[in-house]
Amino acid sequence: MSSAAVSLLGQPPCELVPASAYTVEALTEAYNQTRVDYIVPMPMNPARLQAYIDDYSVDLDRSVVARDGEDILGLAMLGTRPGRTWITRLGVLPVRRRGGTGEAMMRYLVAQSRDLGAESIILEVIKDNEPAHQLFLKLGFVETRELLVLRRPPGAPREPAPTYRASYGSHDRALALLERRRSIPSWLDDIPTMQRARNLGCVQVELSDGASGWLTYQSEVFQIGRLVVQAEEGDPAHVAQALTHALHTTHPTQDTKTENFPASDPHLAGLVAMRYLESFRRIEMRLDLPRP
């Protein structure tokens, strides 16, 4: 795939090249440099970036690096799955922002998505990141919903919960439950992502009033994440409260961080009752690509 030179509003030409031209180590260094003053710091190391690429179906041949000579100015990555793509990790060096580099990379990735025959592109932008938000609106993306990053500190539950009976399941059982999911997943927790995830588990509860539901999660050494919650019967908030009470009773020493939990999800009140706190919000946006 050939590179493309793009004129940037009076600045020297910006060359756009596939990210696969660089090692993961070089991409990690460039990514961290673009985020030194970011609203929410998200530093990477090469191992974490490689896992990110693998887990989220990032295609480095379709992803892009902007450079001026040997200097990397910015990068953006493209996740690809049948019929859709996902733009992520867009970043530009602070000294080269507002000069068109970000827009040039975005247009490149939109063109790549069209070339793949994608029907839609999605992305997330941190709420209050107005420059990026306005760029995406300019390119035709529309807001679809707000997504929360939630955290809960370690510790066994101190809060009361509805009376329940709990059972626990393995990785395979968690995947089977996710096939029954009714909520709309984000790219970070849809089925292809969860199939790649390691150490999945699940909790199922039956409440004394007949309500029931399930929760799937990923358990790492120090942290629990990737929560998906579904009430099958009864009040979603009460079911979610029982589920998270059961989860943290059996995993009291682990921190919890779960990303892209829909702000409008009816289970959210149950998580809040169990000391889940909002860290920040993302705005999910979508661009539909008409068929030729």
Residue 113 has pLDDT above 70, yes or no: yes
**Is the pLDDT score of 126 beyond 60?**
yes
Let me know if domain 4-118 sits in CATH 3.40.630.30: yes
Residue 213 half-sphere exposure toward CB, CA atoms < 13 A: 29
What is residue 8's predicted lDDT score, i.e. its pLDDT?
44
List, for residues 18-66, the tens digit of each pLDDT value. 999 999 999 999 999 888 777 676 788 999 999 999 999 999 999 999 9
pLDDT at 158: 92
Half-sphere exposure of 52 (CA within 13 A, CB side): 18
Q: What is the pTM of this model?
A: 0.91
CB 230 within 8 A of CB 183: yes
Interval 118-143 mean pLDDT? 96
Residue extents of the structural domains in the chain: 4-118, 150-282
CA pair distance 242, 26, nearest whole angstrom? 45
Topology agreement, domain 4-118 and domain 150-282: yes
Would you call 246 exposed, middle or buried from its count of C-beta atoms within 10 A (0-12, 13-18, 19+)?
buried
Span 151-173, pLDDT tens digits: 999 999 999 899 999 999 999 99
Give the Cα separation of 163 and 206 in Å (integer): 9
Residues 6+ apart with CB under 8 A from 260: 124, 147, 148, 149, 186, 188, 189, 282, 284
Length of the chain: 292
Fold of 150-282: Aminopeptidase (3.40.630)
Q: Average pLDDT in the 77-95 region?
A: 93
Task: Tell me the per-residue pLDDT of 164-210, one tens digit each, with 9 for 90 and over.
Answer: 999 999 999 999 999 999 999 999 999 999 999 999 999 999 999 99
Closest residue by Cα to residue 189 from 238, 149, 144, 132: 149
Lookup result for tokens 């756009």: 16
